[in-house]
Amino acid sequence: MIEVRELRLVKAIDDHGSLVRAARVLGIAQPALTRALARLEARLSGKLFERSRRGVIATDLGRAIVAEGSDILERLEKLDRHLAEARGTQTHDLDVIAGAYMAETLCLTAAARMLAAFPNTRLQLVSANWTEVAAAILDREAPIGLMDIRGFVADPGLAVEKLRPQPAIFVARAGHPLAKQKSVSFADIMAQPLAFIGRAPREVQAPQIAAREEARRLGQLHPAFPALVHESPTVTLRLLPQCDAVAGVSVTMAMEALRHGDIVALPWQRAPWASIHPGIITLRNRALGPAEQGFLEFIRTADQQAAEEALAWCAAQGVPSECG
């Protein structure tokens, strides 16, 4: 017998034609979704999807399950709505997808305020690589997205709202060899084991490559680059006190750990490109409801507060705060 959660899994894969997108919509990791699909196929003794260059395509068995399962899921959703209305607790779902730097700063602040201001809204915040956000909005996986828009060429169907640039710094554990120096070059930083996201904006990649080449000429290069790839900067910050890795993060993101002394900012004279340029992505002709509009207002407020805190920190440290 197929369980309801398995019907939802199969339908999500069929709807989006991609295991990656289905996992994101379901709010689970892709490896977990792949394992669940494999278990279901083994139990049914047949493949539900065939892989292709363009994604996944349902087999006859998969199409049969989707055809029958869609009706079951629709009835269950209708029943849930009726039960919620009977209890007076009708909820509204709001999905937001964001690049990790925005998801773990501005979006978390806005989400905390949403809980009190919109108690009947169920918010799902999906953290993704920033390169996936625009496609998710175009595919209507979420009405609101946040990403680094530096160099981004928007699709005509998208509306883009610029937020304030966030200065970025490089941080490491207290007592790190670089932290003991009066100043360090970018080549010094890139010679260290770097913890970073899977894909950086092009404006960041070029200085990284040049600094790595300089460090190689000096014979000081850590061989693996990046030494650790993780899409969550918050997780990376928790890693740093335990090793000699360095990481680039926004001042806003590092603020709490800096105050607690868990990490320190490396004595590097910031370059204009060392910044994050957040922006809000929405469908151009799609009307947003009260909850969506409320979330956007909370994002704008969080953005202003984050900018003020970052400017104050940069001024106190005597480092440039302008972002190129």
Same domain, yes or no, for 173 and 271?
Answer: yes
Same domain, yes or no, for 223 and 288?
Answer: no
| Residue at 322 is within a domain | no
Say which CATH number the domain at 298 has: 3.40.190.10
Same domain, yes or no, for 96 and 82?
Answer: no
| Residue at 157 is within a domain | yes
Same domain, yes or no, for 172 and 108?
Answer: no
Which residues have CB under 8 Å from 278's CB, separation 6+?
Answer: 101, 102, 106, 146, 147, 148, 149, 163, 164, 165, 166, 303
What is the pLDDT, as a whole number, of residue 219? 84
Q: Are strands 194-196 and 228-229 parallel, antiparallel or unpaired?
A: parallel
Same domain, yes or no, for 159 and 288?
Answer: yes
Say which CATH number the domain at 64 has: 1.10.10.10
Q: How many CB atoms lie within 10 A of CB 108?
A: 15
What is the pLDDT, as a whole number, of residue 131? 86
Query: Residue 281 above 60 pLDDT?
Result: yes
What is the pLDDT, as a whole number, of residue 89? 59
Give the strands of the sheet with 158-162, arranged side by side: 121-128, 92-99, 144-148, 278-283, 158-162
Query: Residue 323 above 70 pLDDT?
Result: no
What is the pLDDT, as a whole number, of residue 141? 85
CA neighbor of 207 nearest in space, from 56, 219, 194: 194
The larger pLDDT score, comparing residue 220 to residue 260, is at: 260
**Residue 173: which pLDDT band, with cuts at 50, 70 and 90?**
very high
**Considering only 33-37, 81-85, 194-198, 263-267, which range has the smallest mean pLDDT?**
81-85
| Residue at 154 is within a domain | yes
When pLDDT is averaged across residues 270-283 and rounded to a whole number, the result is 91
| Residue at 323 is within a domain | no
What is the pLDDT, as a whole number, of residue 250? 92
Task: Kindly tell me the burial class for residue 97, based on how many C-beta atoms sit within 10 Å of its own C-beta (0-12, 13-18, 19 or more).
Answer: buried
**Residue 86: which pLDDT band, with cuts at 50, 70 and 90?**
low
What is the pLDDT, as a whole number, of residue 87? 60
When pLDDT is averaged across residues 248-252 and rounded to a whole number, the result is 93
When pLDDT is averaged across residues 284-300 and rounded to a whole number, the result is 93
**Residue 88: which pLDDT band, with cuts at 50, 70 and 90?**
low
Mean predicted lDDT score pLDDT of the chain:
89
The larger pLDDT score, comparing residue 293 to residue 136, is at: 293
| Residue at 54 is within a domain | yes
Same domain, yes or no, for 224 and 186?
Answer: yes
Provide the whole-model pTM. Answer: 0.74
What is the pLDDT, as a whole number, of residue 201? 84
Query: Residue 300 above 70 pLDDT?
Result: yes
What is the pLDDT, as a whole number, of residue 130? 87
Same domain, yes or no, for 170 and 271?
Answer: yes
Which residues have CB under 8 Å from 316's CB, separation 6+?
Answer: none
Same domain, yes or no, for 56 and 103?
Answer: no
What are 9's two structure tokens? 């899994």
**Residue 269: which pLDDT band, with cuts at 50, 70 and 90?**
confident
Same domain, yes or no, for 83 and 155?
Answer: no
In angstroms, the CA 17 to CA 242 distance is 41
| Residue at 138 is within a domain | yes
Domain that holds residue 18: 4-87
CA neighbor of 107 nearest in space, from 230, 231, 280: 280
DSSP string for residues in 87-104: HT---EEEEEEEEHHHHT
CA neighbor of 157 nearest in space, from 54, 297, 292, 281: 281
In angstroms, the CA 151 to CA 196 distance is 20
Strand pairing partners for 158? 283
What is the pLDDT, as a whole number, of residue 321? 62
What are the b/e assignments for 49-81, b being 16+ CB within 10 Å? beeeeeebebeebbeebbeebeeebeeeeeeee
In angstroms, the CA 86 to CA 80 distance is 10
Q: Give the tens place of pLDDT for each residue, 126-145.
A: 988 888 899 889 888 899 99
CA neighbor of 292 nearest in space, from 121, 56, 152: 121
**Residue 49: which pLDDT band, with cuts at 50, 70 and 90?**
very high
What percent of the chain clears pLDDT 90, i.e. is strictly above it?
Answer: 57
**Residue 244: which pLDDT band, with cuts at 50, 70 and 90?**
very high
In angstroms, the CA 154 to CA 164 distance is 18
What percent of the chain clears pLDDT 70, i.e. is strictly above it?
Answer: 96
Which H or E run includes 241? none
Distance, C-alpha 250 to centroid of its chain:
14
Same domain, yes or no, for 204 and 269?
Answer: yes
In angstroms, the CA 162 to CA 149 distance is 8
